Amino acid sequence: MKIAILGLNADALFFIERANFLKIKDLNFFAFDERKKQNSYKKKYSNLLTPWSINDVFSNSDIVLNCSYLSSLDLALQIFTDNKVKSPIIDFSPNKQFSINNFKKYKLLNNNVIHSMSPGRMNFNFRQENIKLPVVLDSQIKAGLNEPINQFFNKLNIAIKFLDILEHDEILKSNYYLPNLLLFSLSKLMNEKSKILSNNLNNQYILNISELINIDVKDDLVENYFNKDLNSLSLEVNMMMNNVFANKKVLDDPIFMNSKQIANHLDPNSAIPKSRDTIMSLFFGTRFTRLVSGWSKIDKPDD
């Protein structure tokens, strides 16, 4: 099968790496992106070809994977139209309310268009034995999933799970956009404040947070489209965090280790433990504290 890819991002790599992991020999990936990126990935993946001409990527393809960023979606759709792409298209845009409306504006009505969740942005594990890939119900499918798409997913041991547009977009907001934007804001704020005292203050911690950020998220933000939704979601997170600090019972959630113990010490009205052993056991555990405390109780200096 010839699989044409527009855009070499995490989604494209998910399928390329999945095929390599399962040692599938009859899936040939042809990708088009900026030349530097094409050359870099071509050296790494033996099952990836990067023709110079975009027409060579699309011609005689069984399936087209649209892995372009949301900010480049209009350009991608224009490329599909100009090259008269007739193959079924699987679109991995992270916002379906936006992308599906854009697809309908272009003359792609003869194509089966599958609007799938982004496995790369959502960090799907390509090594899993079986994978369930969510697909939006509003996909333009004329007669069910046609044979090339079924064959493609079956070869990769990928099953399809349907969900609606709103559910899909809420998942992407809460698990892709918001974490990345909050981490970016947090690391930026920490970095700015740390410089007041020292350039190296908490530097490693700030670096660890920064490394968690998917820098590609900036290319998936469409101006004046997400602001309202993201602001609303940010307010919800702020309210939730305020609730955590105001209501100690929230800390009983299993996600917090020793939550009841922590809750007691978060209460400013609670007595601060005065015993050295009690304080040490809070941070290092009882067995460690007993061992350290025993050192001071040795009778003979030579022991």
Same domain, 139 and 277: no
Question: Has residue 246 been placed in a domain?
Answer: yes
Which residues 6+ apart lie within 8 Å of 243 measured at CB? 250
Same domain, 280 and 196: no
Same domain, 28 and 97: yes
Question: Has residue 264 been placed in a domain?
Answer: no
d(CA 114, CA 100): 10
Question: Has residue 266 been placed in a domain?
Answer: no
Same domain, 34 and 62: yes
- Final residue of a domain: which of 165, 182, 203? 165
Question: Has residue 262 been placed in a domain?
Answer: no
Same domain, 133 and 226: no
Q: Which tokens hold the place of 228?
A: 């309202």
Same domain, 179 and 139: no
Question: Has residue 173 been placed in a domain?
Answer: yes
Residue ranges making up the domain that contains 276: 271-303
Q: Quick one: pLDDT at residue 10?
A: 93
Q: How many structural domains comprise the chain?
A: 3
For residues 4 and 87, is the Cβ–Cβ distance under 8 A?
yes
Same domain, 100 and 249: no
Local confidence pLDDT in tens for the 303 residues of the chain: 999 999 999 999 999 999 999 999 899 999 999 888 888 888 888 889 998 888 899 999 999 999 999 989 999 999 999 888 888 999 999 999 889 988 888 876 556 889 999 999 999 999 999 899 999 987 666 555 568 888 999 999 999 999 999 999 989 988 998 888 888 878 888 888 888 877 678 888 888 888 888 888 888 887 655 555 566 666 766 676 676 666 666 656 665 544 444 445 444 444 444 444 444 444 444 444 454 444 444 444 444
Q: Quick one: pLDDT at residue 8?
A: 92
Same domain, 64 and 130: yes
Same domain, 146 and 50: yes
Same domain, 161 and 186: no
- Final residue of a domain: which of 165, 189, 211? 165
Please report, for the domain that includes residue 53, its CATH number. 3.40.50.720
Phi-psi region of 285 (alpha: psi -120 to 50; beta: other; left: phi over 0): left
Question: Has residue 285 been placed in a domain?
Answer: yes
- Final residue of a domain: which of 146, 165, 184? 165
Question: Has residue 265 been placed in a domain?
Answer: no
Same domain, 18 and 133: yes
Same domain, 43 and 160: yes
